[in-house]
A and B are shown apart, each in its own frame.
Chain A
């Protein structure tokens, strides 16, 4: 058995977990550690960031959860535009870490704020690297291709010249774009969570020739999920809609609100998840002018996921931009929870819905209203759980990529 030490760079990491990409990074790492019969025995060390006023800038603190040590670098809050994609202070600390730990491979998983220096540092030490792309950070300074007026950019391929009206400083944006394009030539493999993300990046000239689709996994339901779901439906047979996202235009909240506002039935309930770190997404929002029962559901971690999904029958996924993956959609489908969703990039690549079932981005609230009415009319409807990639399978897929990289490096 070959020992393989992976240095995993991710902007957030346990115990400072935040966002879908972090969940994926943590869960894949745990799955790799738990691998028993593989050719490799893994050691995984993470490096991530925090922003803590009480600690000096660029102090590093070591933590550990679930067998993964996490070196947390404290960064100041007022970093310059350039330091968000190329921060020499962070790079220097990661270089020290690489020299101390001597990892076999560097996995740059979600390195916004960490910057591209991590890949340069690996290259300088002859350490092979894998880059995983999760959103549009590498191409778009606004990270999600969402313009200041909260509409989707829609470029395909992305040409930096077309960003003039959107970015705050075109010269700075151009330098950023060029730097990150250069950096993208370093890693041995660049992974994308979906064909949509892959195609957009590659057509935009990013890391041609070394790209691979590495589909995200999700936390699969526990064996008792079905029983939990049945118990809830018996307790409260009303149709329950769920929405995982904040009250922003880009996640489709105004559309959802408008659709429900004109809904003429009230025999349903809606759970709105507050996934914010501070629990303040829905503060100040009023639902008393909307039909049905509305409830804010607190942020939950992976182990509490079944409890939430057992409470809902239909997930509303109304993103008004092209997402690269869409974890919530897969989590719902894996549990036999129905989905009403927009035609949003990689989030539709599960194959559970036909094109005609997808709501076009920018469609009026009437289209969503029709879908809500249909769901209510069909209730109760049994939805067969769909086979969805779990973290174990995602980790196994990563092992294949890793072995290719390590064999190529040896």
Chain B
């Protein structure tokens, strides 16, 4: 306080105050003095810039005012980024789902970095960060966004900047025909299903406003082409460095055999009880054959929907972090990935298979979606086409533990060799790579 008083009561300032009072009146002089003392008190400096604009604006109007100023100043349309510019991809996405964020955003960022393309990402509601990334971008990837006043504003800014836009999606969220026939919807509240159906056109609107669409599987690409004339290409999910490292750590942490044979089923979201129900018969039969068999349910699962025979054999591991999930998965002897044969599931990627392979656990999968693409039958896992094959595969795994362990390691080796973030045709279509250099 003494210091402040000493700063205020200086001869030059007193002179200034008296001068202002004489020329502009005591009221004005006091007002100026109050502003000046306030600045000193807060430690602020005197800037050449004058503040303008409104403080509180709705998110969808975040850029409105600055756009108006740029337009008034004939500075609204910057030229698109030069071809010679260092490429910089900004991924703007809905990052609320951890699995989606990992496989379609963080993984993609890592992929582009490995290709010499700088990349960064932002959640679409973090508008300051979105704005900054768009300003830096040469290319934009929108992930899993639906049309809304906020996303429309983001899209408008990207177009104002002349940026090429790719839209990325890994589920047929745009498809009423897929949702309406999606078996897993049966496990959810009807109101939730109605909500999903009403959202589908909003995803399609975003897709159709992009220059290019990328999806996670060939089947999803085919399905998307029923809805859009935009070019649709595939960028599969793959085993990124973080997955391989976490998987290796989980394998090292695997506990010694206790004589129990554990079958793992992972569910990262609600509704997958219906998928597991498709193999209840062979699973129950398998579990009934011995007391030393367990069903390990990882993640979200409604136990009320499980038959009594399986419930008694179930070990439940609640939804957790990705690393902890891999740790739990590594304690199983095999993983099962049944999928009902409906349009939604046909579009599914093989992320659960990648997770299992990363910890050296062999899988049995349905011939649905992209799951079979990663399996060499009998060498890195099994594709079970019917109930009988499911039971046979489970028995084979249980009956030859060493071979089962070897198949798990082969799955891991296969993953490292073919399903990592390289610019190979099984991972990413050439057209997407070309888009980046266009």
- Residues of B35-57 whose CB lies within 8 A of A: 40, 42-55, 57
Q: Contact at A63–B52, with CB atoms within 8 Å?
A: no
Docked Cα-Cα span, A83 to B43, in Å, equals 10
A50 with B135: in contact, given A149-B16, A169-B7 (CB under 8 Å)?
Answer: no
With a CB–CB cut-off of 8 A, which chain B residues contact A102?
A: 86
Docked Cα-Cα span, A166 to B12, in Å, equals 7
With a CB–CB cut-off of 8 A, which chain A residues contact B51?
A: 51-53, 77
Is B88 an interface residue, CB under 8 A from the partner?
yes
A50 with B74: in contact, given A60-B131, A81-B44 (CB under 8 Å)?
Answer: no
A61 with B131: in contact, given A100-B88, A149-B15 (CB under 8 Å)?
Answer: yes
- Residues of B128-187 whose CB lies within 8 A of A: 128, 131-132, 135-136, 161
Is B34 an interface residue, CB under 8 A from the partner?
no
Is A210 an interface residue, CB under 8 A from the partner?
no
* Residue from A16, A49, A100, A149 within 8 A of B12 (CB atoms): A149
Docked Cα-Cα span, A100 to B135, in Å, equals 11
Docked Cα-Cα span, A101 to B53, in Å, equals 30
Interface size class of A (residues with CB under 8 A): 35 or more
Is A112 an interface residue, CB under 8 A from the partner?
yes
With a CB–CB cut-off of 8 A, which chain A residues contact B62?
A: 54-55
Docked Cα-Cα span, A14 to B50, in Å, equals 16
How distant is B128 from chain A, measured CB to nearest CB, in Å?
A: 3
Q: Contact at B52–A79, with CB atoms within 8 Å?
A: no
With a CB–CB cut-off of 8 A, which chain A residues contact B52?
A: 51-53
* Residue from B50, B53, B78 within 8 A of A69 (CB atoms): B78
Docked Cα-Cα span, A277 to B52, in Å, equals 11
Q: Contact at A148–B75, with CB atoms within 8 Å?
A: no
Q: Contact at B53–A53, with CB atoms within 8 Å?
A: yes
Docked Cα-Cα span, A12 to B73, in Å, equals 13
Which among B64-72, B221-229, B324-332, B404-412 touches the partner chain? B64-72
With a CB–CB cut-off of 8 A, which chain A residues contact B48?
A: 11-12, 18-19, 112-113, 143
Is B77 an interface residue, CB under 8 A from the partner?
yes
Residue of B nearest to A50 (CB): B49
With a CB–CB cut-off of 8 A, which chain A residues contact B27?
A: none
Docked Cα-Cα span, A53 to B57, in Å, equals 10
A77 with B47: in contact, given A60-B131, A100-B88, A150-B19 (CB under 8 Å)?
Answer: yes
A-B contact count (CB 8 A): 152
How distant is A2 from chain B, measured CB to nearest CB, in Å?
A: 14
Q: Contact at A51–B50, with CB atoms within 8 Å?
A: yes
Q: Contact at A54–B65, with CB atoms within 8 Å?
A: yes
Is B11 an interface residue, CB under 8 A from the partner?
yes
How distant is A66 from chain B, measured CB to nearest CB, in Å?
A: 8
Is B79 an interface residue, CB under 8 A from the partner?
yes
Docked Cα-Cα span, A16 to B49, in Å, equals 10
- Residues of A256-286 whose CB lies within 8 A of B: 277-278
Is A159 an interface residue, CB under 8 A from the partner?
no
Residue of B nearest to A149 (CB): B15
How distant is B406 from chain A, measured CB to nearest CB, in Å?
A: 48
Docked Cα-Cα span, A99 to B86, in Å, equals 9
With a CB–CB cut-off of 8 A, which chain A residues contact B13?
A: 148
Which of B51, B55, B65 has the most chain A CB within a 10 Å cutoff?
Answer: B51
How distant is B411 from chain A, measured CB to nearest CB, in Å?
A: 40
Is A387 an interface residue, CB under 8 A from the partner?
no
Q: Contact at A168–B49, with CB atoms within 8 Å?
A: no
* Residue from B10, B45, B132 within 8 A of A80 (CB atoms): B45
Docked Cα-Cα span, A64 to B76, in Å, equals 7
* Residue from B7, B49, B55, B85 within 8 A of A54 (CB atoms): B55
How distant is A5 from chain B, measured CB to nearest CB, in Å?
A: 10
Which of A18, A49, A56, A168 has the most chain B CB within a 10 Å cutoff?
Answer: A168
Q: Contact at A60–B132, with CB atoms within 8 Å?
A: yes
Q: Contact at A15–B43, with CB atoms within 8 Å?
A: no
Is A218 an interface residue, CB under 8 A from the partner?
no
Docked Cα-Cα span, A99 to B62, in Å, equals 27
With a CB–CB cut-off of 8 A, which chain B residues contact A382?
A: none
Docked Cα-Cα span, A112 to B49, in Å, equals 10
A71 with B7: in contact, given A49-B49, A64-B75 (CB under 8 Å)?
Answer: no
Which of B7, B72, B85, B136 has the most chain A CB within a 10 Å cutoff?
Answer: B136
With a CB–CB cut-off of 8 A, which chain B residues contact A81?
A: 43-45
Docked Cα-Cα span, A93 to B11, in Å, equals 41
Is A314 an interface residue, CB under 8 A from the partner?
no
Q: Contact at B85–A100, with CB atoms within 8 Å?
A: yes
* Residue from B7, B44, B69, B135 within 8 A of A60 (CB atoms): B135
Residue of A nearest to B54 (CB): A54
Q: Contact at A14–B47, with CB atoms within 8 Å?
A: no
Is A125 an interface residue, CB under 8 A from the partner?
no
Is A211 an interface residue, CB under 8 A from the partner?
no
How distant is A199 from chain B, measured CB to nearest CB, in Å?
A: 25
Contact digits for B8-41, partner A, Cβ 8 Å, 1 yes 0 no: 0011110110010001000000000000000010
How distant is A218 from chain B, measured CB to nearest CB, in Å?
A: 22
With a CB–CB cut-off of 8 A, which chain A residues contact B136?
A: 60, 96-97, 100
With a CB–CB cut-off of 8 A, which chain A residues contact B63?
A: 55, 61
Q: Contact at A69–B66, with CB atoms within 8 Å?
A: no
Q: Contact at A64–B69, with CB atoms within 8 Å?
A: no
With a CB–CB cut-off of 8 A, which chain B residues contact A97?
A: 136
Contact digits for A92-117, partner B, Cβ 8 Å, 1 yes 0 no: 01001101111000000000110000
- Residues of A55-75 whose CB lies within 8 A of B: 55-65, 67, 69-71, 74-75
14 A-B pairs with C-beta separation under 8 A: A15-B73, A17-B73, A49-B49, A50-B49, A55-B53, A55-B62, A69-B79, A70-B75, A77-B47, A79-B44, A84-B46, A100-B88, A148-B15, A148-B16
* Pairs A-B, 5 closest by C-beta atoms: A15-B73, A56-B128, A64-B78, A81-B45, A63-B75
- CB within 8 Å of B: which residues of A? 11-12, 14-19, 49-65, 67, 69-71, 74-75, 77-84, 93, 96-97, 99-102, 112-113, 141-143, 147-150, 165-166, 168-169, 249, 254, 277-278
Additional 11 contacts, C-beta under 8 A, given A61-B135, A80-B44: A11-B48, A15-B69, A15-B73, A19-B48, A54-B62, A75-B49, A78-B42, A100-B118, A101-B85, A165-B12, A249-B19
